[in-house]
Amino acid sequence: MTWNDPNWSRREILATHDSYYYKLTGGDKTIVLPKDLTWEDEFAWEPVAQVYEYSVEGNLLIQESTKKKGRHITLVGQSNMAWLDRRDMLALIQMRDTAGLKMVLTFEHKTNTALEPLFSHHVMFRHQDTALEYSLVKSWDQYEVDAFYIINAIRLMEVLPNQVTSGV
């Protein structure tokens, strides 16, 4: 079925926008992230590492290997969406500020009977790329209990679940 097919607009709708959720779990916290976040670099991952050079004789030498992990997961929001309340924002900041914290990012689909995980990744914050960008919806609400924040970007990277990390 293609976009110019007259039946294209009659395709079966599998789920509504409100039935999908990103969930970030790490340490003793679980945060349900705004539904309006988009995985910006989902298809930008290059799973093959390649290095090439020329030998002294002029031959092309190529080394390739499949990357184990390291895929970037950048969740971005727009200024009029992807809001998070102050309580969850403080929990997300606390997670970001914990060195070596490994988390699980899950994308779930809520059906009539249960939550079904569509995918799950072991992740850590990408601190060298500014792990978390956010702004207040209303700047004068900064210390209000009911303040809302806009998630501009959450930058994560996929890691092995048993990867050893240590502080420097």
pTM for the complete prediction?
A: 0.77
Secondary structure of 30-65 in HEC code, one letter for each residue: EEEECCCCEECCCCCCCCEEEEEEECCCCCEEEEEE
- Measured CA angle at 123 (ends 142, 75), to 5 deg: 50
Reading the chain (168 residues) residue by residue, the pLDDT tens digits are 454 555 544 444 444 445 677 899 998 999 999 888 999 999 999 999 999 999 999 999 999 999 999 999 999 998 778 889 899 999 999 999 999 999 999 988 766 666 666 788 999 999 999 999 998 888 776 667 778 899 999 999 999 987 555 444
Nearest to 82 by CA among 30, 157, 74, 143: 74
Q: Are 124 and 156 in contact (CB under 8 A)?
A: yes
**3-state SS class at 100:** coil
Side chain identity at residue 68, one-letter code: K
Q: Are 103 and 22 in contact (CB under 8 A)?
A: no
- On the 0-12 / 13-18 / 19+ scale of CB atoms within 10 A, 66 is exposed
